[in-house]
Amino acid sequence: MTGLKDLYEYIDQHRDQYISWLQEGCRQPSVSTQFRGIDEMAAMVEGYLLKLNAEVQIVPTGRHPVVYGKILSDKEKTLSFYNHYDVQPEDPIELWDYPPFGAEIHDGKLFARGVADNKGNLFARIAAIHAYQQVYGELPVNIKFFVDGEEEFGSIYTHHAIENAPDIIETDGYIWESGYKTPDGALSIRLGLKGMLYIELRAKGANTDLHSSNAAIIENPAWRLVWALNTLKGTDERVKIEGFYDRVDQPSELEKQMLANMPLHEKEMLKNLELESFLLNLDGDELKEKFIFQPTCTICGIYSGYTGEGSKTVLPSEAKVKIDFRLVPDQDPDEIIVLLRKHLDKHGFEDITIHKISGKKAAKTDPGDPLAKVAIKEAEKFYGKPPQIFSMSPGTGPMYKLAAQYNIPAVSFGVGYEDSRIHAPNENIRIEDFIEGIKFICTVMHEYSLVNKGISVG
């Protein structure tokens, strides 16, 4: 780290400048789902990337463009930053203590819609590159910025940028969009995302709700749905769809080691949630392994008939359930749907229809990958504690489409903390986390450049 002392000092001396950059970024609304401020925000990001002497393209995707910036030299390695310049809507605005696009600082925290997700990270990376250039003149690796304009819109169109700028995925690895610091000050690092299949199952009865006395002779779709659901998963929590687990791998030895080191504050978590135990009474490594490496089948919502206060004697005409399957690598949402259809038919539920809402494959970066190793090792040194590593974390994002499917490693960490209130009122980050984040990006970039130059990072 001695090597970066000058750089850290430079960052400390210029902290106000970098904070003001972030404030400028946060004051520009950029709500992708509302088509609000997108062009302005893309132009602003372009302007900042130009400050870094990047070659910048506004790459069309079919919806909101990707801002793609590259700073190429003759360096051996290329490191990419995947971030997004769009934000969630600020509703409900009345629950904010400060204006959502005011970027006000109170008690060492900057409050703004999008500051944690994802502008704080975007600007920390811009600032890191800037500072590195100011202090050392030249970057130690080639750098690419892949700045998505519609992550909060599902990144449905984002991958079309690859067709319009094919070199955008010529990279040795991504530092992915975001992350947070744990309450005890460790950095949380995500090496992947579970995939997802989100569906709705529907059962249909008569063409109208009926008086419940008719239930003696007319089929009840709510019962049909209950019985069908019961065939999907039993109280042992094992999904009963034939073939569902065929592509599910055991974690590797390295992943198991990481899992063992990953803190999961069981007692605190149970107390906060007012629960007596975790699912199936699991604890310790078994609990963590299930959390990180096992696919799920979750009823996210179910509804049929009368749901108000008191009683209404109704025989419902339809019943619906929303289910998300969290998938692990190699499980394919489209294949799962086919297996599910077969399963329902086999159990006599041909009448129950499946409606796909979304599907995304999982993405997972090998913790032995050089970029992952650098991030993990440097996080421990920099933050003074072993990082909390998620081999596959919750959350969504285009990690499969932009990284995993091309075997590009992606390592995600960032400048948030446990109370960053992502997607919620009073979204905020701590200023000190932001400044540390700038330094840490410099550190990772620097150390990564040394890999395979005869300098061990193991």
Site membership for a second copy, residue 47 (CB under 8 A)? no
SS3 state of residue 283? coil
- Listed ranges 17-25, 78-86, 91-99, 277-285: which one lies at the site for a second copy (CB under 8 A): 277-285
Please tell me the count of residues contacting a second copy according to CB under 8 A.
Answer: 68
Which pair of structure tokens corresponds to residue 15?
């902290």
Nearest distance from C-beta of residue 129 to a second copy, angstroms: 32
Q: What is the bridge-based pairing of β-strands 109-111 and 142-148?
A: unpaired
Q: Per rule CB under 8 A, is residue 235 in the interface with a second copy?
A: yes
CB of 281 vs a second copy, minimal distance in Å? 10
Q: Which of 148, 324, 378, 447 binds a second copy (CB under 8 A)?
A: 324
Rg, C-alpha atoms of the chain: 24
> According to the binding rule CB under 8 A, does residue 212 interact with a second copy?
yes
Residue 167: φ, ψ to 5° = -75, -5
Q: Which of 58, 135, 156, 226 binds a second copy (CB under 8 A)?
A: 226
Q: Is 311 exposed, middle or buried (0-12, 13-18, 19+ CB in 10 A)?
A: exposed
Q: Does 215 bind a second copy (CB under 8 A)?
A: yes
What's the closest the beta carbon of residue 386 comes to a second copy, in angstroms? Answer: 22
Residues 378-417: x/- map of binding to a second copy (CB under 8 A)? ---------------xxxx---------------------
305 binds a second copy (CB under 8 A): yes
Token pair in block for residue 159: 């991958």
Asked if 307 touches a second copy (CB under 8 A), the answer is yes
- 151 token code pair: 């992550």
Decide: is 250 part of the binding site for a second copy (CB under 8 A). Answer: no
Instruction: Report in angstroms the alpha-carbon separations of 337 from 49, 152, 163.
Output: 43, 25, 28
Residue 228 CA to residue 225 CA, distance in Å, equals 5
Closest CB to a second copy among 273 and 455? Answer: 273
Residue 239 contacts a second copy per CB under 8 A: no
Q: Residue 417 belongs to what H/E stretch?
A: strand 416-417
- 10 Å CB burial of residue 454 (0-12, 13-18, 19+) is exposed
> By CB under 8 A, is residue 348 in contact with a second copy?
yes
Residues 6+ apart with CB under 8 A from 372: 189, 191, 365, 366, 409, 411
CB of 270 to a second copy, least distance (A): 9
Closest to a second copy by CB, 1 vs 357, is: 357
Among 262, 319, 372, 442, binds a second copy (CB under 8 A): 319
Q: Pick from 260, 275, 338, 424: which binds a second copy (CB under 8 A)?
A: 275
Query: Strand, helix or coil at 247?
Result: coil
DSSP 320: E
Tokens encoding 149: 């304009």
Under the criterion CB under 8 A, does residue 284 sit at the interface with a second copy? no
Q: Which residue has the tokens 């949380």?
A: 188
Q: Does residue 206 touch a second copy according to CB under 8 A?
A: yes
Q: What is the residue whose two structure tokens read 């070199």?
A: 167
Q: Which is nearer to a second copy, 312 or 381 (CB)?
A: 312
Applying CB under 8 A, the span of 59-67, 241-249, 278-286, 412-420 interacting with a second copy comes to 278-286
Residue 360 lies near a second copy (rule: CB under 8 A): no
Among 135, 248, 314, 337, binds a second copy (CB under 8 A): 314
Taking CB under 8 A as the criterion, the residue among 214, 256, 341, 386 binding a second copy is 214
CA distances 343 to 181, 347, 350, Å, are 42, 6, 9
Residue by residue, DSSP assigns 59-96 as: E--SSSPEEEEEE--S-S-EEEEEEE--B----SGGG-
How far apart (Å, rounded) are the C-alpha atoms in residues 229 and 199?
13
Contacts with a second copy by CB under 8 A lie at: 194, 196, 198, 205-208, 210-220, 222-223, 226-227, 229-230, 233-235, 273-275, 278-279, 282, 287, 290-292, 294, 296, 298-307, 310-316, 319-320, 322, 324, 326, 348, 357-358, 393-396
